Amino acid sequence: MDFLPLGLKLAGHTVVVVGGGDTALRKARLLHRAGARLRLVAPQWRAELQALVEREGAGGECHRRAFQDDDLEGARLVVLATDDGALNERVAALCAARGVPVNVVDRPDISSFVFPALIDRDPLFITISSSGVSPVLTRRLRARLEAWLPSRWGRLAGILGRFRAPLARALPDRKAREAFWERQLDGPLVEQVLSGHESEAEAALHAAVAHADQERPPPVDGEVYLVGAGPGDPDLLTFRGLHLLRKADTVLYDRLVAPEILALAREDAELIYVGKARDRHTLPQDNINDLLVHYAREGKKVCRLKGGDPFIFGRGGEELEEVVAAGIPFQVVPGITAASGCAAYAGIPLTHRDHAQSVRFVTGHRKDGSVDLNWAGLVAEQETLVFYMGLVGLREICARLIEHGRAADTPVALVSRGTTDAQEVITGTLDDLADRIEGREIHAPTLIIVGSVVSLHPRYRWFGAADTGGA
């Protein structure tokens, strides 16, 4: 990211605003709400701007003239809201030389900070920024969040803030305090405040804090969350998966989990990579199973984050065996599996009344690496086959299907890095797809879809997906 989002305390500090138009007024209003002492410099300005700067108790200054270098004396921040490009660049350079943060409206390239779109639920606030490149987009996102976030969330934050110090006295241990707040926020407190019953919520919280040191300690064991992260696109993570990811103290993740999803974990969470590729295992499966139990027995909430769905070729059942045997509480959150996600993004319906009345998910290789499958049961014409992990054995898969009766001209699609921005779809038939990809660099993960539904690609492909057709 180009700019680090920060909350800056401005109460009582001088902020210089150069310019007197509508933009200067908008920035000045925001700065005034933050308690800044404004110094306005411009040859002329709107009457509302002067009234804001000189408002009783604000202690601001108005200078009706051109900017002078000494206007920067004592400034904590500078905002340039003028149409004079040369002036903007000169003052921005002065600020850089003096180490004073400066924002030049519509010029993020010479600004040292930008104004994000703000959702104000004082004392709670949320900011959205495009690093200055698309203010219209940030305004739209803010409008959506404004509609979703009730104003009483600020009241809730204020109530919680008032009990921080009393709880710290009752529970000196930070982990114990975090557990206390988790229990409160999972209980009726939030709904009481959001529905306007603040006095009841505050009374209940007061009682809970007063007896916090008398509560039974949490169980020795933690919890395990087996969460499907989906096939690649971070937007396909479920709400439940996100909720548990945000609760986790430790996250064990594999190579198919998008970095954008990992970024949603708590900042203080321990992230442990346990990814596996074909014939290259960072950790043996048994070690991963042991880690889940190990961290849970330390009292931690452990999220095992897996690409796709943990129970569809994700070895989730194996990982839960030791968790169940150890008596550790667990939850399983299904994810959008690669078959449905990749097929949808490639524009290939897995079932269709005119093409396929059933769909079968098949692993492209067995535990020993072979592709010795029940081929005779995989040749029904009206059935779609989806092969996971089948790239290495593609030629043999196609040959065996033909050998056991599937038509050689049956359409086949190979989907590489499905649902991501790098998605590639290569189509062909059982008798020519292996030749089509010979010598090409194909990036894992891949999925192979066999059946006449593939003929609907790219006609059913959604507008944002990549496509290489039969090339």
Count Cβ atoms within 10 A of the Cβ of residue 262 and give its class: 0-12 exposed, 13-18 middle, 19 or more buried.
middle
Per-residue pLDDT, 349:
95
Could you tell me if residue 250 is inside a domain?
Answer: yes
- Which has more confidence, 148 or 442? 442
Q: Could you tell me which residues come within 8 angstroms of residue 211 by beta carbon, excluding any fewer than 6 positions away? A: none
Across the range 107-126, mean pLDDT stands at 89
Same domain for 367 and 315, yes or no, is no
Of 336, 370, 398, which closes a domain?
336
Helical (H) or strand (E) element with 370: none
Could you tell me if residue 173 is inside a domain?
Answer: yes
Same domain for 306 and 402, yes or no, is no
User: 254, 300, 301, 306: which one is catalytic?
Assistant: 254
Could you tell me if residue 41 is inside a domain?
Answer: yes
Of 182, 214, 246, which closes a domain?
214
Could you tell me if residue 129 is inside a domain?
Answer: no
Check: CB of residue 67 under 8 Å from CB of residue 18: yes
Same domain for 164 and 110, yes or no, is no
Strand positions, DSSP E, 4-69: 14-18, 37-42, 61-64
- Which has more confidence, 13 or 460? 13
Show binding-site residues for NAD(+): 22-23, 43-44
Per-residue pLDDT, 159:
93
Could you tell me if residue 169 is inside a domain?
Answer: yes
Q: For position 261, which CATH number holds?
A: 3.40.1010.10
Across the range 387-407, mean pLDDT stands at 94
- Alpha carbon 443 to its chain's center: 24
Per-residue pLDDT, 158:
93
Per-residue pLDDT, 260:
92
Same domain for 176 and 230, yes or no, is no
Same domain for 322 and 348, yes or no, is no
| Total domain count, the chain | 4
Across the range 189-195, mean pLDDT stands at 86
CA distance 124 to 110: 30
Bridge partners of residue 385, in order along the sequence:
360, 450
Same domain for 343 and 452, yes or no, is yes
Same domain for 192 and 94, yes or no, is no
Show binding-site residues for S-adenosyl-L-methionine: 231, 307-309, 312, 337-338, 389, 418
75-80 vs 14-18, strand pairing mode: parallel
- Which has more confidence, 466 or 126? 126
CA distance 69 to 73: 8
The encoded tokens of residue 141 equal 């996102």
Q: For position 343, which CATH number holds?
A: 3.30.950.10
Same domain for 356 and 449, yes or no, is yes
The mean of the pLDDT values for the chain is: 89
**408-440 confidence digits (pLDDT tens):** 999 999 999 999 999 999 999 999 999 999 999
Q: pLDDT band at 469, cuts 50/70/90?
A: very low
Per-residue pLDDT, 278:
54
Same domain for 202 and 293, yes or no, is no
Same domain for 68 and 96, yes or no, is yes
Of 336, 356, 382, which closes a domain?
336
Residue 412, domain extent: 339-456
Could you tell me if residue 45 is inside a domain?
Answer: yes
- Which has more confidence, 216 or 138? 138
**238-264 confidence digits (pLDDT tens):** 988 998 999 899 999 998 898 999 999
Report the candidate in 455, 459, 371, 362 with the shortest Cα–Cα distance to residue 412.
455
- Alpha carbon 182 to its chain's center: 21
Residue 9 among the catalytic residues: no
- Name the pTM for this structure: 0.65
Phi, psi of 367 (to 5 degrees): -60, -35
Same domain for 101 and 168, yes or no, is no
Q: Is the pLDDT of residue 117 over 90?
A: no
Residue 254 among the catalytic residues: yes
Could you tell me if residue 127 is inside a domain?
Answer: no
Per-residue pLDDT, 466:
47
Could you tell me if residue 143 is inside a domain?
Answer: no
CA distance 234 to 255: 14
Show binding-site residues: 22-23, 43-44, 231, 307-309, 312, 337-338, 389, 418
**70-88 confidence digits (pLDDT tens):** 999 999 999 999 999 999 9
Hunting for tokens 């040292």 — which residue is that?
112
Q: For position 74, which CATH number holds?
A: 3.40.50.720
User: 120, 221, 276, 432: which one is catalytic?
Assistant: 276
Same domain for 316 and 407, yes or no, is no
CA distance 102 to 27: 13
Across the range 345-357, mean pLDDT stands at 93
